[in-house]
Amino acid sequence: MGGYWLAFFHYSAYAGILYILLRLAGLLAGNGAAWQHAYTLYAKGAFVVVMAILVYGAWNAVHPVVREVEHDTGKNLPQPVKIVLVTDIHLGSLFGRQYAVELTELINRQNADVVLFGGDQVDNSLTYLLREKSYEPLQKIKSKYGVYGILGNHDHFDGRIQTELELFRSVGFHMLVDEAVDLPCHIHLVGLEDYRSEPRNPYLEKLAGKDPGKANLLLEHQPRRFWEAEKAGYDLYMAGHTHGGQQAPLNFVTKRMYLLDYGSKKFGNMMGITSCGYGLWGSPVRIGSTPEIVVITLK
């Protein structure tokens, strides 16, 4: 309820600003009976509009989509590789075990070669996960070459990083914290620690693959180092964190903060992908962005 109230307050604030402007216009015009009637009509109409936004946003928040992206790496891959990218699931007080079951089913329908989790697996506290074991359904994820994950800023909020790593490793995740792994499908995958914990991360360059026959992939939670990754020779950079603003018009804020706050874009020879995430933070309402998983076909 607190989350819905937060969204209600957010959009009511915009309606309140317009109401003040309307009152100022009425004041300048003499505040006659017609204006008094207009104030009442506006207040009732604004309430209806804000409630409609909340209803739609609440529905939109739990109806994820599959976004598809193709990228030709220029490497001699024996065959196309299908990657499923999932970011920001935020397991915790808002979403739990059934939410993880539905996510697992959605991922498995994609018949992935590789599944990647881009950080913020946990919302704020491990307490909820430990109580209902909401991470357990994720062990049923099917992936030809494995499931890999990194840490996000929210994963650090509880302070029990080692406990979280052990939980997700127990359900089959290969957690990469400034680590690299070579996959049989001619992919060199690097996973970095969250930017908030390591703003100057030397492993971006140190772990970059040197084999010209392999696709060089970088997975990082916050989309902050596109050009650094391109310079280091990566073919694909994947991130999340932004939620696409989650509630418009906050997307205009994220657009100013990041080179790519949502979507796909070429940076030189490298493809950059930022997902708006599968989960939510704070309020279970999404306006202007839809929860998603991203299916990437590498050629």
In total, the chain counts a number of residues equal to: 299
Return the closest-CA partner of residue 258 out of 247, 243, 268. Answer: 243
Return the closest-CA partner of residue 124 out of 99, 160, 82, 75. Answer: 160
CA 274 from centre of chain: 8
Q: How far apart are CA 74 and CA 4, in angstroms?
A: 47
> Quick one: tokens of 32?
């006659």
What pLDDT score does 205 carry?
A: 96
What pLDDT score does 170 carry?
A: 97
What pLDDT score does 276 carry?
A: 97
First to last CA, the chain: 46
Please name the amino acid found at residue 8: F
Sole residue written with tokens 């030709």: 72
What pLDDT score does 33 carry?
A: 87
Is the bond leading into 137 cis (omega within 30 degrees of zero)?
A: no
Q: Strand 114-117 relative to strand 81-86: parallel, antiparallel, unpaired?
A: parallel
SS3 93: coil
Number of H helices, E strands in the chain: 8, 12
> Quick one: tokens of 7?
């969204």
Return the closest-CA partner of residue 38 out of 56, 52, 21. Answer: 21
CA 29 from centre of chain: 48
Q: Is the Cβ–Cβ distance between 151 and 221 less than 8 Å?
A: yes
Q: How far apart are CA 265 and CA 278, in angstroms?
A: 20
Q: How far apart are CA 218 and CA 32, in angstroms?
A: 64
Q: What is the pLDDT along the chain (299 residues), one digit of tens a residue?
A: 889 999 999 999 999 999 999 999 999 888 888 899 999 999 999 999 999 999 999 999 999 999 999 999 999 899 999 999 999 999 998 899 999 999 999 999 999 999 999 999 999 899 999 999 999 999 999 999 999 999 999 999 988 999 999 999 999 999 999 999 999 999 999 999 999 989 889 999 999 999 999 999 999 999 999 999 999 999 999 999 999 999 999 999 999 999 999 999 999 999 999 999 999 988 999 999 999 999 999 99
